[in-house]
Chains A and B, each alone.
Chain A
């Protein structure tokens, strides 16, 4: 009897909460549900900035644009391109997840903030850092958006003479004894396990020692002291999957909840298969700087030397100590398309406790073209 009463009470409470949530929703909930936008609160710099962020989150581009103090300096499409880019890229299919506001200084008429926009992309969080100025116009505060003009390619024809590999496998008409095309030969040239707070990491480098392109991945199996398997993990996206002849990629495999002291051996299994591929685009890594100060990072610029637009670029950094031993592998996805001859910045975070060990680095770029081949 008491169970029925409890069920009845829970049911009634659910109905009451649903009605309350529907009739008097929280303003944030309305935005997150995509059911409408917040009423603009411009009573303070923070409120104006938050309203602007909510509009971006709701992809209410027009509302966000018309709330800006400096909107006369650019058009709505230019503003949208500043957020999402003109060409398909990692941001094209992403949305603003959260944003952080850190005040820098404020007066009666203006205020300065550091804003971190966290975009939810298919490969995880992409952070866009902006220093935003907020100004007081009359009795209301307005965001003065730090507009960044996105590069545009003029209409043109760029002749390219790039190499391409295609693969023909054995078919039904072949003699049974005829060998199929040989799979690419790859070799692990470096491997280093390391213990971190998050678990055990296996890092290394893989070389395509063949004369054909290879699609590669690496799997590692940790063995205990009795040589029995503890866990198996793959490199997933912490590797450049397409390796051209004689190209080297780092790889990085994470074993959460495994302590290195438990490990008696590691069984590495590189995988390679033939893949049709193109030698283009060639990406130059320019002005690389290794910063080992308080917030260690590897920064630089990517320059697409080809005529083909690279929609998504993945930067993999391999870090070595003074003796050339592998110390760390880190990566970053660039959330802007790489246009020909147009530099795009990247910044890879390095763990602070490892930064002082790093003496040199090697950077590998893999690119993805939407609607085209790799």
Chain B
């Protein structure tokens, strides 16, 4: 009985093998992501065509010997694909390349805030993608532009390598929100970089009597590029007299810091901000 079954199975297999063995595939070697293409099979009978690749699998029932058309957008992830007919030993391969048309410019700009006049202080990196978010590896020119209101814009063109390009630029000597733009063709991505004043420069104060006290007031506090130091910056007034000392940390308001301190004749008054020292006043007797 077992022998009969084995013989029957052998006969069925022998009948099927010539049918599958007739298969053959003709596919384009490369296509652009999202473009239409066709696969030509050979032989006769029914079969199932598989296209397997990175993150995507296509399956179609086919009449062997005919051509199978894939519409635009059917295969869109760039990479190496394997094409085969089920049950057949016939395989082929297909490379899907990123589109040469850039659809998206991903732009990383760092930092979002930095002091003015910092050499190579701002870095920008772009990654170019097609409309299917494939990295566009074809060398492409990226136009970087950093512009600060009231200051000349900095322009640089960089060609991408393996889909990426990066740049380092100096922060402007003028404070303000700079627009950092990366542009490819008519596609642009914008980032805002806050350029803030640096340390106070030439810190100066004046003193005048105010009843029993002495009124101290700084001149408008600016950095070495002439930018107004922002309000809230701490200005430290220190009055030394006869072995004693009075200290006040005053935040800038409307560009100046002012305070009233005890008026000790002969006292020495100094002003500072962070590690920057200002002038010194000796209060008269």
CB within 8 Å of B: which residues of A?
Answer: 161, 163, 165, 175-182, 189, 207-213, 244-248, 279, 282-290, 300, 305, 360-365
Contact = CB atoms under 8 A, between A and B. Distances in A.
Interface stretch (B5-13, B32-40, B163-171, B243-251): B243-251
B249 A180 contact: no
B176 interface: no
A180 B112 contact: yes
Contact of B199 (A189, A246, A247, A286): A246
Contacts of A211: 113, 196-197, 229-230, 232-233
A23 to B, nearest CB: 60
A212 B251 CA distance: 12
Contact of A247 (B229, B245, B249): B249
Contact size range, B: 35 or more
B231 A163 contact: yes
Contact of A177 (B108, B232, B235): B108
A288 B221 CA distance: 27
A244 B274 contact: no
Contacts of A165: 232
A290 B243 contact: yes
Residue of B194, B245, B274 most packed against chain A (CB within 10 A)? B245
A279 B254 CA distance: 13
Interface in B89-121: 106-114
A280 to B, nearest CB: 8
15 contacts: A163-B251, A165-B232, A209-B199, A211-B197, A211-B232, A244-B234, A245-B230, A247-B234, A279-B251, A282-B248, A284-B247, A284-B259, A287-B262, A289-B243, A364-B249
B225 interface: no
A228 B21 CA distance: 68
Interface string B228-242: 011111110000000
B246 A163 contact: no
Nearest to A289: B244
B275 interface: yes
Given A211-B197, A213-B232, A289-B243, A177 B248 contact: no
A182 B112 contact: yes
A283 B247 CA distance: 9
Given A279-B251, A284-B261, A245 B232 contact: yes
Contacts, number: 110
B113 A182 contact: yes
A175 B259 CA distance: 45
B106 A177 contact: yes
Nearest to A175: B189
A288 B111 CA distance: 42
A178 B275 CA distance: 33
Interface of B: 106-114, 189, 191, 194, 196-197, 199-200, 229-235, 243-251, 253, 259, 261-262, 273-276
Contact of A246 (B111, B234, B246, B259): B234
B262 A244 contact: no
A361 B259 contact: no
B251 A244 contact: yes
Nearest to B273: A246
A247 B251 CA distance: 9
A161 B253 CA distance: 9
Nearest to A181: B112
Given A288-B246, A300-B246, 7 more contacts: A179-B112, A211-B196, A211-B232, A244-B233, A246-B233, A248-B274, A284-B261
A284 B246 contact: yes
B231 A288 contact: no
A290 B243 CA distance: 7
B248 A284 contact: yes
B243 A209 contact: no
Contact of A189 (B232, B233, B275): B275
Given A211-B197, A284-B261, A181 B113 contact: yes
A287 B107 CA distance: 55
Contacts of A305: 248, 259
A208 B230 CA distance: 14
A248 B274 CA distance: 6
Nearest to B196: A211
B245 A361 contact: yes
Contacts of A163: 231-232, 251, 253
Nearest to B110: A179
| 4 cross-chain pairs, A with B, having the tightest CB-CB distances, nearest first | A246-B274, A279-B251, A182-B113, A288-B245
A284 B274 CA distance: 17
A200 B262 CA distance: 39
Nearest to A277: B232
A363 B247 contact: yes
Nearest to B234: A247
B107 A179 contact: no
Contact of B109 (A179, A208, A244): A179
A180 B111 CA distance: 9
B189 A282 contact: no
A355 B230 CA distance: 39
B274 to A, nearest CB: 4
Given A207-B274, A244-B234, A282 B246 contact: no
Contacts of B234: 244-247
B251 A282 contact: yes
Given A182-B113, A245-B232, A285 B191 contact: no
Contacts of B231: 163
Nearest to B261: A284
Given A163-B231, A245-B234, A284-B248, A182 B111 contact: yes
